[in-house]
Amino acid sequence: MRLDGKVALITGGGSGIGQAAALQFAAQGAAVAVLDLREEAAAETAALIGKADGRAIPLTANVTDAAQVQDAVARAAAEFGRIDVLYNNAGIGSKGSVAVAEEDDWDLAMSVNAKGTFLCSRAALPHMESGSIINQGSVAALVGVPNFAAYCAAKGAVVALTRSMAVDLAPRVRVNVICPGTVYTPLMEPMLRARGDGDLEAGLAKTVVKYPIGRLGTPEEIANVALFLASDESSFMTGSVITPDGGMTAQ
């Protein structure tokens, strides 16, 4: 039980990597607050945890809305007494290079990925005596991913924010960022389809060649890294940028 007695709040916990992390954290003994924009998605993850005899509550909030975030975090803290682990996982993709990207698309990518990380951290900190904040970056913060300009910029901001938070919050709270390579989830499907000119299989094939390990990642493989950062096993780590990416950024 690597998270025995801990309380975790996971944003974007209703799907993909966030759902995998919620299930793993709960299986390792954490009580989990599952926050998502989509009420039914948060409820589904919380129900899956409940069926496996874990403890979870669903929370509905938009991470870009300070009042909603404040309210959701307060409900998590009231239910479980405090917060030990915050996984700022909620994120959204974007469309196009700088030459064609829409201003609204830019604002949304920056708002969900970067501002959401700020707002959730600010709301959670008063409830964290100590513990671990895990931010969700991407390889897109570290290399140029074609036609993903706003997303690359937003995830770059998350990496820089992580370092700033790590310095400001040490030694009370550790803050690290995970920069995964491509994982096949609902978030990535439009990007993969666009890369294949509308053909998902072609898009997947074009993507896999960039991965020395010869395949895309799974949500569980990224959740494994989050579990390590959430646990006391990573007690000497703060401000680190971790890249579970199948070797994508090693080339």
Ligand X SMILES: NC(=O)c1ccc[n+]([C@@H]2O[C@H](COP(=O)([O-])OP(=O)(O)OC[C@H]3O[C@@H](n4cnc5c(N)ncnc54)[C@H](O)[C@@H]3O)[C@@H](O)[C@H]2O)c1
Per-residue binding string, ligand X, 216-235, x by CB under 6 A, is: --------------------
- Comparing CB distances to ligand X, the nearer of 3 and 10 is 10
Q: How far is the CB of 34 from ligand X (least distance, A)?
A: 10
Catalytic amino acids? 151
The CA R_g of the chain, rounded to the nearest whole Å, is 17
Q: Select the residue interacting with ligand X from 54, 91, 131, 203 (CB under 6 A).
A: 91
Range in contact with ligand X (rule: CB under 6 A) among 56-64, 193-201, 204-212, 230-238: 56-64
Told to check if 173 binds ligand X by CB under 6 A, we report no
Q: Could you tell me the CA-to-CA distances from 133 to 7, 96, 121, 161, 170 in Å, in that order?
A: 12, 30, 8, 12, 11
Told to check if 186 binds ligand X by CB under 6 A, we report yes
Q: Is 242 helix (H, G, I), strand (E, B) or coil?
A: strand
Q: Is 212 helix (H, G, I), strand (E, B) or coil?
A: coil
Strand ranges (E), the chain? 7-11, 31-36, 55-60, 85-88, 131-136, 173-178, 241-242
Q: Select the residue interacting with ligand X from 3, 8, 9, 12 (CB under 6 A).
A: 12
Q: Is 235 helix (H, G, I), strand (E, B) or coil?
A: coil
Told to check if 15 binds ligand X by CB under 6 A, we report yes
- Comparing CB distances to ligand X, the nearer of 157 and 188 is 188
Told to check if 24 binds ligand X by CB under 6 A, we report no
Q: Select the residue interacting with ligand X from 41, 110, 133, 149 (CB under 6 A).
A: 41
Contacts of 70 (CB under 8 A, 6+ apart): 123
Task: Determine if residue 119 is left, alpha or beta; phi over 0 gives left, psi from -120 to 50 gives alpha, anything else beta.
Answer: alpha
Closest CA to 11 of 61, 77, 75: 61
Q: How far is the CB of 82 from ligand X (least distance, A)?
A: 22
Q: How far is the CB of 199 from ligand X (least distance, A)?
A: 18
Contact 18, 112 (CB under 8 A): no
- Chain positions 59 to 78 lying near ligand X, rule: CB under 6 A, are 62-64
Catalog residues that contact ligand X under the rule CB under 6 A: 11-12, 14-18, 36-38, 41, 62-64, 89-92, 112, 116, 136, 138, 180, 182-183, 185-188
